[in-house]
Amino acid sequence: MRIDKPLKLAGITLANPLMNGAYIGSKTLRDIELLANAQSGAVVVGSISVRPRARNPGRGYWLHKERLYALNSYGLPNGGMPYFKRVLPEMVRRVHAKSKPLIANVVGFSKEEFVPLIRLAEESGVDMAELNFGCPNVWDNGTQKAILSYDPKLMQETLRYIRSAAPAIPLCVKLSPLPPDILQEVAQVITDSDVVRAVTATNSYPNGALNSGTRVDIEEALAGLTGRSLKPISLGVVTQLRALLPRHIAIIGSGGVSSANDVQDYLAAGAAAVQLATALVEDGPSVFEKIHYQATKRKM
Binding site for ligand RRO (CB under 6 A): 47, 72-76, 132, 134-137, 203-204, 224
**Inter-residue contact 149 to 186 (CB < 8 Å):** yes
SS3 per residue for 86-145 = HHHHHHHHHHHCCCCCEEEEECCCCHHHHHHHHHHHHHHCCCEEEEECCCCCCEECCEEC
Query: Minimum distance between the CB of residue 95 and ligand RRO, rounded to whole angstroms?
Result: 21
In angstroms, rounded to a whole number, what is the distance separating the alpha carbons of residues 166 and 173? 16
Q: Specify the 3-state DSSP secondary structure of 220.
A: coil
Query: Minimum distance between the CB of residue 47 and ligand RRO, rounded to whole angstroms?
Result: 4
Query: Minimum distance between the CB of residue 234 and ligand RRO, rounded to whole angstroms?
Result: 12
Q: Please, which residue, 231 or 292, has the CB nearer to ligand RRO?
A: 231
DSSP letters along 19-68, please?
EEPS-TTSSSHHHHHHHHTSS-SBEEEEEE-SS-BPPPSS--EEEBTTSS
Burial 129-161 (b: 16+ CB within 10 A, else e): bbbbbbbbbbeeeeeeeebbbbbbebbbebbee
Query: Minimum distance between the CB of residue 175 and ligand RRO, rounded to whole angstroms?
Result: 11
Q: Is the dihedral of CA 119, 121, 125, 127 positive or negative?
A: negative
Q: Please, which residue, 3 or 121, has the CB nearer to ligand RRO?
A: 121
In angstroms, rounded to a whole number, what is the distance separating the alpha carbons of residues 187 and 50? 27
Query: Minimum distance between the CB of residue 253 and ligand RRO, rounded to whole angstroms?
Result: 16
Q: Please, which residue, 130 or 262, has the CB nearer to ligand RRO?
A: 130
Q: Please, which residue, 20 or 204, has the CB nearer to ligand RRO?
A: 204
Amino acid at position 129, single letter: A
In angstroms, rounded to a whole number, what is the distance separating the alpha carbons of residues 199 and 251? 5
Q: Please, which residue, 23 or 288, has the CB nearer to ligand RRO?
A: 23
Q: Please, which residue, 40 or 73, has the CB nearer to ligand RRO?
A: 73
Contacts for 181 with CB less than 8 Å, ≥ 6 apart: none
Closest to 241 in 3D by CA, of 172, 298, 294: 172
Q: Please, which residue, 196 or 267, has the CB nearer to ligand RRO?
A: 196
Q: Please, which residue, 38 or 148, has the CB nearer to ligand RRO?
A: 148
In angstroms, rounded to a whole number, what is the distance separating the alpha carbons of residues 77 and 110? 18
Closest to 197 in 3D by CA, of 47, 49, 41, 8: 8
Query: Minimum distance between the CB of residue 216 and ligand RRO, rounded to whole angstroms?
Result: 18
Query: Minimum distance between the CB of residue 121 and ligand RRO, rounded to whole angstroms?
Result: 16
Query: Minimum distance between the CB of residue 243 and ligand RRO, rounded to whole angstroms?
Result: 25
